[in-house]
């Protein structure tokens, strides 16, 4: 009996269109991820598209979305019989509960499992397509697919199938079951985010998260590209435990389904209510005569009354729906969870300012309005037919418009109400965090109104689709497919707002600049798509099913006659508005502004390189001095600049041509004038010109270059509106308004597969470390210059540029300031302007200043303190500071970074000004970032490295070290472990995503995870073993030797040579390991046994296992002998956690350590709670969590 039912269900599902639609969709997703570069799931960088890691990632991620498909199979088997009326027949047979229930489930589950096999099939077939770059593919081992399918995907499908089968059994409702699916996804997402933000809980999450993504992520987080290309996720240890947990939960779900299933079904709530009413009804004793009924009225007042009544009726149907309450509760739960831990940096939260909260609410709550718009559009359209009252209503005198308009209006008001509820939840969370600056106006304008319009447009589309579709489930499926296609199309480059329904340009938010002028384009698009939505409503009205005729073809034949009424006139007006606004939008996005796509930008960069990179090595003059006037117009916004550069020939040979380019596509090079020069060749598309000199410029000779540029965005763009020149918070660098001399390879395509795709050499690398030709140019291809910069802006704003302020005056409606440098600076400078508040601190004759938005004064004193501490530390250690001022200048949160220019450091409002540092145990990254940027005044703005490999080691790595020293002096060494732990984790995680190859620190090629993350670890360990005084002395010699020096610029080898001066053989080996090799460690404390000695002290015996490895650029490792010294310690609390401080260090000593297992002994006056080796994470250890463990007796 069981086998027969299973077979029947299997055959039924094989004939089910849902099965084949799901197979096609998931096959195409996997096939597209393998064959289309713009779609990546699990692969990327050096990880092959068909690597075992990529296959495993893809299958696990897609099982999340496959829940909707598997639920359609397994939940339907429960409700189908009652929906079709076949249930009583089955219940009258001898079929047992177990055979019926598990036979049905088994057949449906086998169909779901078979359907998901389309995913590995898609990857396998895609990897054989001829257009796929063969270098992005590896071997196609069957084991890669089988292992991922059998113990990663299949248990997930079984668990979700069993879970929602049980839910369907309990509720006997497909809607309730799908609400459960959404709730599960929300809970899963919230848990993942919370665990991701709290690394301390990562292991617990890996064990307890039932879908296995946490387990595989934890196991593979430090895998290199070589590991990901060769290793399958093993069914052992953590993964095995997790899979067993998943199977147990599946069994419990099936047991729950069995326990709650009853063949006898209760009548529905509606049926019970009708029966009760029927029983209670009694015939009246007599019928009272009534007078004549009033004549019907069909005037405007009646129409408005009908609209109001029917809209309230439709809204009531939504608000009374249990599903709505559940969806709203799930949305609020997701929102609250997102707002508990606000966007953290180094584990430190930010203040819950309104713009941050709005963005978090948009990300966490927006799925709920999408579901409401799509689901309830279908429910309201089909409500009368589902309740079998449609013929009565269709035959009534209700006007045609009353079928469509109230439903659309009801959904709009429901969406508005739903968004208001989300705002109330957000405000409560702000109060929960102790933040009382609630801004309801911003919520309304920035969030509620635009989101209501956007989701209403989606709801109107859903109403239109449902009006045409033969069944509401088909309509829902079409809408889900629409969302998938829309998302995918954008990634493929089809991102034009003119044909992407309900789309528009992004509106970035800022406390400083509000919505800027970005809202204008967005609301033009809303008007455009609202007109189109009216057309859709008119068509839905004209094609509405009224009466018994439901076929689409007859309704289409009646369309002209239905449009001959006032509805047609409304549609015509909407069409005119749609056409006019469309023409206006096209003018803005395609005529006044360049229409750009990711694919188009890649093609532009490829063409740029092909045309201009051959000029890279053409000798060019150097810039010696710059005088420029920058006129900012925040009200437009825009700028114009005119200036003059003094050029000098330092090449040692006569020059007969000067190459001039403007690197920013938004800025127009209006005019260039060089005495005695004419344009020999021009590349207008790239704003690149070659000027021929009538008289060659002799060695040592000088000439001038006068220029004029303009930067002004007219109207609005399709995407990527200009965020550099804005109404309040302009921040531009000279590359965005001044020409550049010569060609270099910065900002060209780096991804090897993309380079091959566009016919470029597979790699574009800087000169090798040994190549002395690279020392002719600085790391940024800029020269040491003197600058004279005049900035004009609106009278209520403060203009800022590097240098001493010579004058600052107001001339009518304009404020003008002039800045002149007194020390050499790089030809890389910034100009800023905003309505700033200022705070100054005179520190030993140096003016320390922070220019900030009046709303953001909380951390200003901390920034000034970090500057003061930095100057006190850096000047004795490295050399004198070269300027009379050090400024931090805030800019809007359109980007999150800080950047060092000469004496002037722009600092985003998003990374420090709103940091919440109320918890003293959190990392003070505000001071850290300020100290890092101040460190660049030595490392970049005194010593600039060459253009060779290793350039950023002498810039970013030394700035990291400088900031670490400030933090250690401010907070002590015991707090540094927290920071180093973050750096270690980020470095190890990033290795697997390398797009070219990992290189030793001395050869880094602007790879951030190396020069920042690994650089911090390497420099801190160097300081730890050589001593701070020796490291600082080396840096002081290095600075003195190369301070403001031109070509040949120093290489990383010059810096390492200073570290090696006076080093012992062991120290030289350490320096080699830190800077010239990729060195990893695997050190663990296996046991820490404490015993009491006769003298009353405590002895701790540490059993330590140590291993050192060297890796190549692909991550392939080879063990190396280890003979070093390392710190071991005993502690009263766990280092790096809670309020750990110096008082918790019972003993700390350095001892020899070698490869293999060894026993080390510590003696303390009191009993330690924790003990271990390398407790401060100064080594790059792939699992530093086992360095220090709890002691045992």
Task: Assign 285 a pLDDT band (cuts: 50, 70, 90).
Answer: low
Whether the per-residue pLDDT at 1020 is higher than 90: the answer is yes
| Distance from C-alpha of 1131 to C-alpha of 835, rounded to nearest angstrom | 51
What CATH number has the domain spanning 614-756? 2.60.40
Q: Are 1044 and 1145 in contact (CB under 8 A)?
A: no
What count of other Cβ atoms lies within 10 Å of the Cβ of residue 432? Answer: 12
Q: What is the pLDDT of residues 423-466, one digit of tens each?
A: 999 999 999 999 999 999 999 999 999 999 999 999 999 999 99
Tell me the Ramachandran region of residue 892: left when phi exceeds 0, alpha when psi lies from -120 to 50, beta otherwise.
beta
Place 774 in a pLDDT band, splitting at 50, 70 and 90. Answer: very high
Q: What's residue 284's pLDDT?
A: 53
The helix or strand, by DSSP H or E, that contains position 1056, with its residue range, turns out to be helix 1052-1060
Q: Which H/E stretch holds residue 667?
A: strand 667-673
The sheet with strand 1108-1111 has its strands ordered as 1078-1081, 1108-1111, 1117-1120
Task: List C-alpha distances in Å: 289 to 284, 293, 467, 483, 679.
Answer: 13, 12, 43, 58, 102
Which H helix or E strand runs over 74? helix 52-74
- What integer pLDDT is reported at residue 204 of this predicted model? 80
Tokens 């992520």 — which residue?
A: 217
Q: How confident is the model at residue 38 (pLDDT cuts 50, 70, 90)?
A: low
Is there a contact between 960 and 906 (Cβ–Cβ < 8 Å)? no
- Which of 109-113, 834-838, 917-921 is least confident? 917-921
| CA atoms within 13 A of residue 982's CA, in its CB half-sphere | 17
Share of the chain above pLDDT 90, in %: 66
Neighbours of 1154 (CB within 10 A): 13
Could you report the per-residue pLDDT of 1039-1097, keeping only the tens digit for each? 999 999 999 999 999 999 999 999 999 999 999 999 999 999 999 999 999 999 999 99
pLDDT per position as a tens digit, 958-988: 999 999 999 999 998 877 888 899 999 999 9
User: Across residues 90-119, what is the average pLDDT?
Assistant: 86
CATH 3.90.226.10 fits 1079-1193, yes or no: no
Q: Which residues contact 351 (CB under 8 A, 6 or more apart)?
A: 342, 433, 435, 858, 914, 915, 916
Confidence of residue 1028 (pLDDT cuts 50, 70, 90): very high
Greater confidence (1110 vs 1142) lies with: 1110
Pairwise pLDDT comparison (3 vs 511), residue with the higher score: 511
Q: What integer best gives the mean pLDDT of the chain?
A: 90
- Which of 1057, 1058, 1072, 1052 shows the shortest CA–CA distance to 1003? 1052
**pLDDT value of residue 559:** 80
270 confidence band (pLDDT: 50, 70, 90): very low
The H-assigned helical ranges of 548-638 are 552-557, 559-562, 566-586, 598-612
Per-residue pLDDT reduced to its tens digit, 823-875: 999 999 999 999 999 999 999 999 999 999 999 999 999 999 999 999 999 99
Residue 669: beta bridge partners? 709
Spatial separation of the C-alpha atoms in residues 836 and 942, rounded to whole Å: 29
885 torsion bin: left (phi>0), alpha (psi -120 to 50), beta (else): beta
Number of Cβ within 10 Å of residue 295's Cβ equals 5
Identify the residue whose tokens are 């429901």. 414
Q: What is the mean pLDDT of residues 23-36?
A: 88
Mean pLDDT calculated for residue range 269-283: 50
Residue 140 has pLDDT above 80, yes or no: yes
Q: Are strands 1188-1190 and 1170-1173 parallel, antiparallel or unpaired?
A: antiparallel
Say what the pLDDT of residue 271 is: 45
In whole angstroms, how far apart are CA 1163 and each of 315, 545, 675?
A: 74, 87, 79
C-alpha to C-alpha distance for 1031 and 1073, rounded to whole angstroms:
16
Q: Outline where DSSP puts E strands in 772-883.
A: 784-794, 798-800, 804-811, 814-820, 825-826, 830-834, 837-843, 846-852
What span, in angstroms and rounded, lies between the C-alpha atoms of 660 and 674?
A: 10
Whether the pLDDT of residue 124 is over 90: the answer is: yes
Q: Which residue has the tokens 């113990």?
A: 151
pLDDT at 533: 96
Three-state DSSP at 1162 gives strand
Cβ(1040)–Cβ(1024) below 8 Å = no
Cα dihedral sign for 423, 428, 432, 438? positive
Residue 556: cis peptide before it, omega within 30 degrees of 0: no
Query: Cα-Cα-Cα-Cα dihedral of 958, 961, 962, 964, to 10°?
Result: 160
The three-class DSSP label of residue 1103 is strand
- Distances from the Cα of 746 to the Cα of 780, 900, 960, 1023, angstroms: 8, 19, 23, 33
> What is the four-CA torsion angle of 547, 551, 556, 557, rounded to 10 degrees?
-80
How much of the chain, in percent, has pLDDT values that exceed 70?
93
* Contact by Cβ (8 Å): 314, 407: yes
Calculate mean pLDDT across residues 71-75: 88
In this predicted structure, the answer to whether residue 623 has a pLDDT above a threshold of 80 is yes
**CA atoms of 460 and 628, how far apart (whole Å):** 54
Helix axes 1015-1026, 973-991, angle to 10 degrees: 140
The pLDDT value given to residue 268? 46
Cβ burial of 551 (10 Å; 0-12, 13-18, 19+) is exposed
Considering the four listed CATH numbers 3.40.50.1820, 3.20.20.140, 3.50.50.60, 1.10.390.10, the one that applies to the domain covering 791-807+845-937 is 1.10.390.10
Q: What is the mean predicted confidence (pLDDT) over 1107-1135? A: 94
472 contacts 466 by C-beta, under 8 angstroms: yes
Output the pLDDT for position 199: 66
Residue 92's pLDDT is 65
Cβ-contact 965, 972 below 8 angstroms: no
Tokens of 645: 């550069």
Residue 548 clears pLDDT 70, i.e. is over it: no
Q: Where are the CATH 2.60.40.150 domain residues in the chain?
A: 1079-1193
Confidence of residue 353 (pLDDT cuts 50, 70, 90): very high
Please tell me the distance from the alpha carbon of residue 1171 to that of residue 1088, in angstroms, as a whole number.
6
* Assigned CATH for 948-1076: 1.10.390.10
Residue 83's pLDDT band, with cuts at 50, 70 and 90, is: low
Residues 490 and 504: beta-carbon distance below 8 Å: no
Say if residue 1103's pLDDT is above 70: yes
Domain with CATH 1.10.390.10 in the chain: 791-807+845-937, 948-1076
Over the stretch 236-251, which tens digit does the pLDDT of each residue have? 889 999 999 999 999 9
> Could you tell me the CA-to-CA distances from 765 to 550, 769, 1051 in Å, in that order?
65, 11, 16
Put simply, whether the predicted model's pTM sits higher than 0.85 gets the answer yes
Q: Is-contact 165 78, C-beta < 8 A?
A: yes
Output the CA torsion sign for 594, 598, 601, 607. Answer: negative
Looking at residue 561, its pLDDT comes to: 78
**Both tokens of residue 1042?**
């190369």
Taking the chain, what is the end-to-end CA distance rounded to the nearest angstrom?
61
* Contact (Cβ atoms closer than 8 angstroms) between residue 691 and residue 679: yes
Residue 798 near residue 851 (C-beta atoms within 8 A): yes
DSSP notation for 514-555 = BTTTHHHHHHHHHHHHHHHHHHHHHHHHHT---SS---HHHH
Task: Say yes or no to pLDDT of 572 above 90.
Answer: yes
For the stretch 800-810, pLDDT in tens is 999 999 999 99
Helix 118-126 / helix 97-116 crossing angle, nearest 10 deg = 10
Question: With 60 as the cut, is the pLDDT of residue 328 above it?
Answer: yes
How many helices (H) and strands (E) would you count in the chain?
39, 29
Per-residue pLDDT reduced to its tens digit, 150-195: 999 999 999 999 999 999 989 888 878 888 888 888 888 877 777 7
Q: 96-106: per-residue pLDDT in tens?
A: 888 888 898 99
């Amino acid at each position: 009996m069981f086998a027969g039912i299973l077979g029947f269900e299997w055959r039924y599902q094989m004939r089910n269109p849902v099965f084949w639609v799901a197979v096609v969709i998931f096959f195409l997703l996997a096939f597209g991820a393998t064959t289309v570069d713009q779609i990546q799931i699990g692969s990327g960088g050096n990880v092959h598209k068909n690597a075992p890691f990529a296959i495993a990632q893809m299958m696990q991620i897609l099982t999340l979305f496959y829940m909707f498909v598997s639920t359609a199979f397994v939940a339907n088997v429960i409700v189908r019989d009652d929906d079709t009326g076949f249930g009583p027949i089955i219940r009258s047979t001898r079929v047992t509960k177990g055979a019926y229930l598990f036979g049905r489930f088994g057949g449906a589950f086998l169909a779901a499992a078979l359907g998901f096999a389309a995913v590995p099939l898609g990857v396998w077939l895609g990897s054989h397509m001829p257009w796929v770059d063969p270098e992005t593919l590896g071997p196609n081992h069957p084991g890669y697919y089988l292992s991922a399918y059998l113990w990663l995907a299949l248990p997930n499908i079984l668990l979700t199938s069993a879970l929602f089968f049980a839910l369907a059994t309990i509720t006997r409702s497909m809607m309730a079951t799908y609400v459960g699916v959404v709730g599960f996804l929300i809970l899963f997402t919230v848990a993942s985010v919370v665990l991701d933000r709290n690394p301390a809980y990562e292991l617990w999450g890996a064990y307890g998260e039932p879908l296995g993504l946490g387990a595989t992520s934890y196991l593979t987080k430090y895998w290199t590209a070589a590991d990901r290309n060769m290793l399958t996720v093993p069914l052992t240890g953590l993964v095995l435990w997790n899979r067993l947990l998943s199977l147990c939960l599946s069994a419990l779900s099936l047991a729950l389904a069995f326990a709650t299933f009853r063949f006898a079904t209760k009548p529905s709530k509606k049926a019970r209510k009708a029966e009760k009413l029927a029983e209670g009804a009694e015939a009246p004793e007599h019928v009272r005569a009534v007078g004549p009924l009033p004549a019907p009225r069909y005037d405007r007042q009646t129409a408005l009354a009908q609209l109001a009544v029917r809209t309230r009726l439709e809204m009531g149907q939504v608000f009374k729906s249990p599903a709505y309450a559940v969806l709203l509760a799930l949305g609020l739960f997701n929102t609250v969870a997102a707002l508990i831990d606000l966007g953290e940096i180094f584990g430190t939260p930010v203040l819950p300012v309104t713009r941050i909260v709005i963005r978090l609410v948009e990300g966490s709550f927006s799925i709920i309005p999408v579901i409401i718009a799509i689901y309830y559009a279908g429910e309201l359209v089909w409500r009368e037919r589902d309740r079998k009252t449609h013929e009565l209503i269709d035959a009534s005198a209700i006007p045609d418009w009353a079928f469509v308009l109230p439903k659309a209006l009801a959904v709009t008001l429901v969406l508005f109400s739903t968004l208001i509820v989300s705002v109330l939840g957000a405000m409560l969370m702000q109060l929960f965090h102790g933040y009382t600056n609630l801004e309801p106006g911003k919520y309304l304008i920035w969030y509620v109104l635009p989101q209501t319009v956007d989701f209403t447009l989606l709801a109107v589309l859903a109403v239109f689709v449902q009006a045409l579709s033969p069944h509401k489930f088909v309509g829902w499926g079409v809408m889900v497919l629409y969302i998938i296609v829309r998302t995918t199309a954008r990634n493929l480059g089809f991102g034009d707002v003119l044909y992407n329904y309900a789309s528009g340009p992004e509106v970035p938010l800022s406390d400083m600049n509000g919505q800027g002028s970005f809202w204008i384009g967005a609301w033009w698009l809303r008007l455009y798509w609202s007109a189109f939505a009216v057309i859709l409503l008119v068509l839905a009205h004209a094609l509405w099913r009224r009466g018994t005729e439901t076929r689409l073809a007859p309704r289409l034949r009646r369309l002209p006659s239905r449009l001959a009424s006032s509805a047609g006139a409304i549609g015509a007006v909407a069409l005119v508005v749609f056409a006019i606004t469309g023409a206006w939008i096209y003018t803005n996005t395609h005529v006044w502004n360049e229409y750009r796509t990711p694919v188009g930008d890649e093609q532009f960069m490829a063409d740029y390189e092909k045309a201009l990179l051959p000029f890279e090595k053409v000798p060019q003059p150097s810039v010696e001095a710059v005088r420029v006037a920058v006129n900012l117009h925040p009200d437009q916004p825009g700028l114009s600049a005119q200036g003059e550069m003094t050029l000098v020939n330092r090449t040692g040979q006569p020059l007969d041509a000067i190459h001039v380019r403007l690197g920013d596509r938004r800025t127009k090079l209006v005019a260039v004038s060089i005495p005695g020069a004419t344009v020999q060749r021009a590349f207008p598309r790239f704003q690149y010109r070659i000027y021929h000199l009538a008289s060659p410029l002799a060695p040592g000779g000088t000439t001038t270059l006068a220029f004029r540029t303009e930067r002004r965005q007219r109207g609005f763009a399709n995407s990527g509106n200009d965020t550099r020149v804005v109404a309040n918070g302009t921040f531009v660098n000279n590359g965005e308004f001044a020409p550049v001399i010569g060609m270099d390879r910065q900002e060209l395509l780096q991804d090897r597969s993309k380079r091959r795709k566009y016919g470029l050499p597979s790699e574009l690398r800087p000169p090798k470390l040994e190549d002395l030709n690279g020392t002719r140019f600085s790391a940024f291809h800029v020269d040491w210059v003197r600058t004279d910069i005049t900035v004009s802006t609106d009278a209520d704003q403060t203009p800022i540029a590097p240098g001493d302020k010579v004058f600052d005056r107001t001339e009518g409606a304009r404020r003008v300031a002039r800045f002149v440098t007194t020390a050499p600076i790089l030809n890389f400078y910034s100009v800023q302007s905003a309505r700033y508040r200022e705070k100054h601190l005179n520190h030993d004759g140096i003016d320390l200043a922070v220019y900030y938005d009046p709303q953001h004064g909380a951390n200003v004193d901390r920034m000034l303190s970090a500057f003061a501490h930095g100057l006190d530390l850096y000047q004795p250690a490295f050399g004198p500071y070269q300027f009379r001022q050090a400024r931090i200048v805030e800019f809007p949160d359109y980007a999150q970074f800080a950047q060092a220019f000469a004496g002037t450091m722009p600092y985003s409002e998003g990374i420090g000004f709103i940091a919440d540092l109320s918890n003293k145990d959190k990392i003070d990254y505000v001071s850290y970032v300020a100290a890092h940027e101040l460190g660049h005044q030595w490392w970049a703005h005194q010593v600039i490295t060459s253009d060779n490999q290793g350039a950023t080691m002498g810039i970013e790595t030394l700035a990291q070290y400088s900031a670490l020293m400030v933090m250690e002096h401010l907070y002590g060494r015991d707090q540094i472990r927290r920071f180093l732990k973050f750096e270690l984790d980020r470095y190890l995680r990033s290795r697997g995503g390398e797009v070219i190859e990992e290189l030793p620190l001395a050869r880094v090629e602007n790879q951030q995870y190396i020069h920042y993350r690994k650089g911090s670890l390497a420099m801190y360990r160097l300081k730890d073993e050589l001593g701070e005084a020796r490291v600082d002395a080396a840096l002081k010699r290095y600075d003195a030797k190369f301070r403001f020096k031109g070509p040949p610029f120093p290489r990383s080898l010059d810096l390492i040579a200073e570290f090696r001066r006076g080093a012992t053989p062991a120290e030289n080996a350490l320096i080699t390991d830190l800077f010239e090799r990729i060195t990893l460690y695997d050190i663990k404390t296996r046991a820490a046994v404490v015993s009491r000695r006769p003298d009353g002290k405590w002895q701790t015996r540490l059993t330590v296992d140590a291993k050192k490895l060297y890796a190549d650029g692909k991550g392939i490792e080879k063990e190396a002998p280890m003979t070093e010294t390392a710190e071991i310690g005993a502690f009263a609390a766990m280092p790096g956690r809670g309020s750990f401080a110096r008082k918790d260090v019972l003993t700390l000593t350095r001892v020899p350590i070698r490869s293999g297992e060894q026993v080390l002994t510590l003696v303390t006056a009191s009993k330690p709670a924790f003990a271990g080796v390398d407790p401060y994470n100064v080594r790059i250890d792939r699992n530093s969590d086992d360095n220090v463990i709890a002691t045992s007796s």
